[in-house]
Amino acid sequence: MAKVEDETRRSRLPRLPRTEDFASAIHDPRVVARVGVLLGSAFLLVFLTGLYSHVHQNPVAWFPLGPDPAWLYRVTQGIHVGAGIACVPLLLAKLYAAYPALFEQPPVRGPLHALERLSVAVLVATATFQLVTGVLNTFQWYPWSFGFVGVHYATSWVVIGSLLIHVGVKLPVIVPALRARIKDGEIVDPEIADESPLPRTHISDGDLMSIPDGDLHPAEDRSTTEATATRRGFLTAVAVTTLGAVALTVGQTVRPLAPLSVLAPRDPRVGSQGVPVNKTAASAQVTSDVVGPAWRLELEGPDGVVQLSRDDLLAMDQHTADLPIACVEGWSAMATWQGVRVRDLVERAGGRVGDGGHDVSVASLQVGGAYSRSVLQASYVASDDTLLALRLNGQDLNLDHGYPARIIAPNRPGVLQTKWVNRLAVVEPVIA
Ligand SMILES: Nc1nc2c(c(=O)[nH]1)N[C@H]1C(S)=C(S)[C@@H](COP(=O)(O)O)O[C@H]1N2
Ligand SMILES: [Mo]
């Protein structure tokens, strides 16, 4: 001991810590692997639900989408944001449990090992980037200059790719670590145990002895019960924090939890006509003079172009549908919508409805803006619940909700529920 102190005093630079210096029982492969399974599963859910939203906004022929079931988009995006929120405490916990591995010695053992460490760096960086930008997006705060949607989508592939590499590389550690029980003695890396003068508790599980060197290392010697309590306490705290964060957010889409929803930027119970407003008329620069009595819906189809006033539309068959507005940002709200079926308008314009039917291209009188246009695919046009809505919850739509007319359709992203519609064009299917 005295000799070690001597040497330390002589060297001017403090020695970098080594993995085995981190004494907490939390830095244990069993803890890291368990948190990792939760984090990896949450990321996978976020990825798949994100892809689902992506194909809605960028349709492809091999993944047909339709109006049934009406609630599917709402549920998937609630999961997207809920699981994304869960990732925040899980990622912090994972980083805390695993960070001693940063100090492994030697830092690089060869080209493969260097690649593996690089993939972890990419994973941590991109995962953090996704969570930070994703959460800020739900608050509609964009303190950056890139387009959020495209970057969030592209980065998600990098996260999932480096996650797969990470899991693949670590499988020989993960599998025995998950099989081992938390309450067993310390997991000891045989190589370190040999170097260390401290007595360590070996456990009999042969699997664990085969953990490759350079991976997570054991805690300092301590009573097994104390270490077990520390690990259990940590895992419980992680679970409680994660469930808590989700519970305090999902009220924006799960109505009974709305009173708890203090972390969510939106309360689905608050908004004019009983529905929150994402983009106000003022922010879309839609003013009451462009939606006055002179407003017309231009309807174009095989039979030509007609101009319909709001009274013309109100004179057509009116239909009612109870449908949610389900925003990509994770909030959703049910409402009762009333208006003209889009299929009736397509037929009036001489278009085909049903199998092999026409799509409808929708335009808003909003000038510019990413969501001033959308397409209703034939499968949506055919639905009885796809409306050019004129009324909301028993009143005429107000300007913020899209007066004089807006699209509302089942199982459709909020961003495609175009407001302030002034043109519908019956077109050949956009994707065949
Ligand atoms: N023309 C136009 N329509 C739009 C938008 C927009 O920016 N412009 N925003 C969309 C988004 S992101 C959502 S979530 C819904 C919200 O509808 P609401 O404000 O009536 O709740 O409107 C959609 N319709
Ligand atoms: Mo939205």
**Model pLDDT for residues 166-223, shown as the tens digit of each residue:** 999 999 999 999 999 998 776 654 433 333 333 333 333 434 444 444 444 454 454 6
Q: What is the Cα–Cα distance from 373 to 365, expressed in whole angstroms?
A: 9
The number of beta carbons lying within 10 Å of the beta carbon of residue 425 is 18
User: Is there an atom of ligand 1 within 6 Å of 366 CB?
Assistant: yes
Whole-number Å distance, alpha carbon 143 to ligand 2 midpoint, is 19
* Same domain flag for 277 and 135: no
* Number of the ligand 1 atom closest to the C-alpha atom of 286: 1
* Same domain flag for 237 and 304: no
* Same domain flag for 157 and 91: yes
Whole-number Å distance, alpha carbon 346 to ligand 2 midpoint, is 26
User: Is there an atom of ligand 1 within 6 Å of 40 CB?
Assistant: no
* Same domain flag for 285 and 367: yes
Asked if 178 and 34 count as a contact pair (C-beta separation under 8 A), the reply is: yes
| Phi, psi of 256, rounded to the nearest 5 degrees | -60, -20
Residues 6+ apart with CB under 8 A from 3: none
* Same domain flag for 289 and 251: no
- Whether 418 is in a domain gets the answer yes
Q: What's the distance, Cα to Cα, between the start and end of the chain in Å?
A: 77
- Whether 178 is in a domain gets the answer yes
- Whether 263 is in a domain gets the answer no
pLDDT of residue 194: 37
* Same domain flag for 321 and 409: yes
* Same domain flag for 156 and 127: yes
- Whether 168 is in a domain gets the answer yes
- Going by the DSSP 8-state scheme, the letter that residue 413 receives in this structure is B
* Same domain flag for 200 and 69: yes
Closest by alpha carbon to 149, among 134, 168, 170, 167?
134
Judged by its nearest atom, the ligand closest to the C-alpha of residue 272 is 1
* Same domain flag for 233 and 351: no
22 has pLDDT over 90: no
* Same domain flag for 81 and 203: yes
Q: What is the Cα–Cα distance from 419 to 365, expressed in whole angstroms?
A: 9
Give the burial string for 111-133 (b: 16+ CB within 10 Å, else e). Answer: eeeeebbebbebbbebbbebbeb
- Select from 229, 257, 285 the last residue of a domain: 257
- Ligand 1 atom 11, closest CA: 415
> How many domains does the chain divide into?
2
- Whether 24 is in a domain gets the answer yes
Q: Tens digit of pLDDT for each residue in 30-69?
A: 999 999 999 999 999 999 999 999 999 999 999 999 999 9
Whole-number Å distance, alpha carbon 390 to ligand 2 midpoint, is 20
- Whether 147 is in a domain gets the answer yes
- Whether 265 is in a domain gets the answer no
Whole-number Å distance, alpha carbon 91 to ligand 2 midpoint, is 27
- What does the pLDDT average to over 292-303? 97
* Same domain flag for 184 and 287: no
User: Is there an atom of ligand 1 within 6 Å of 353 CB?
Assistant: no
Q: Is cis: bond before 404, omega within 30 of 0?
A: yes
* Number of the ligand 1 atom closest to the C-alpha atom of 370: 7
Mutate which of 56, 253, 401, 419 to test ligand 1's pocket (most atoms within 8 Å of Cβ)?
Answer: 419
Mutate which of 81, 279, 373 to test ligand 1's pocket (most atoms within 8 Å of Cβ)?
Answer: 279
Whole-number Å distance, alpha carbon 281 to ligand 1 midpoint, is 10
User: Is there an atom of ligand 1 within 6 Å of 244 CB?
Assistant: no
User: Is there an atom of ligand 1 within 6 Å of 49 CB?
Assistant: no
Q: What is the Cα–Cα distance from 228 to 225, expressed in whole angstroms?
A: 5
- Domain range for 186 is 19-257
User: Is there an atom of ligand 1 within 6 Å of 284 CB?
Assistant: yes
Q: What is the Cα–Cα distance from 86 to 131, expressed in whole angstroms?
A: 10
- Whether 155 is in a domain gets the answer yes
* Same domain flag for 211 and 314: no
Q: Tens digit of pLDDT for each residue in 382-428?
A: 999 999 999 999 999 999 999 999 999 999 999 999 999 999 999 99
Q: What is the Cα–Cα distance from 44 to 138, expressed in whole angstroms?
A: 20
pTM: 0.88
Closest by alpha carbon to 404, among 311, 315, 331, 327?
311
CATH number at 282 reads: 3.90.420.10
Q: Tens digit of pLDDT for each residue in 123-166?
A: 999 999 999 999 999 988 888 889 999 999 999 999 999 999 99
Mutate which of 417, 423, 424 to test ligand 1's pocket (most atoms within 8 Å of Cβ)?
Answer: 417
